[in-house]
Amino acid sequence: MGTTTFPPLNQPVGQTVRYHIRSGKYDVTLYDWQQYLRFADALVR
């Protein structure tokens, strides 16, 4: 993923494997879906 430490909040890391941690409550939010879709979009381009 290009890092050996946790990334800052709301800053995804990685290329073929992605990781993000966001601020806020434990839930799947619009921000999470945006990250999933950006990752998927990058894979098919």
Whole-number Cα distances in Å, 43 to 7, 15, 30, 31, 32: 21, 9, 20, 19, 17
Report pLDDT digits (tens) over 1-45. 667 787 878 787 777 777 788 888 889 999 889 988 988 898 888
Residue 42 has what pLDDT?
86
Could you give the residue ranges of the DSSP H alpha helices within 1-45?
Answer: 30-44
Cα distance between residue 22 and residue 42, in whole Å: 20
pLDDT of residue 1: 60
| pLDDT computed for residue 12 by the predictor | 79
pLDDT of residue 33: 92
> What predicted TM-score, i.e. pTM, was given to this entire model?
0.63
C-alpha distances out from residue 8 to 3, 5, 13, 22, 45, Å: 11, 9, 9, 8, 27
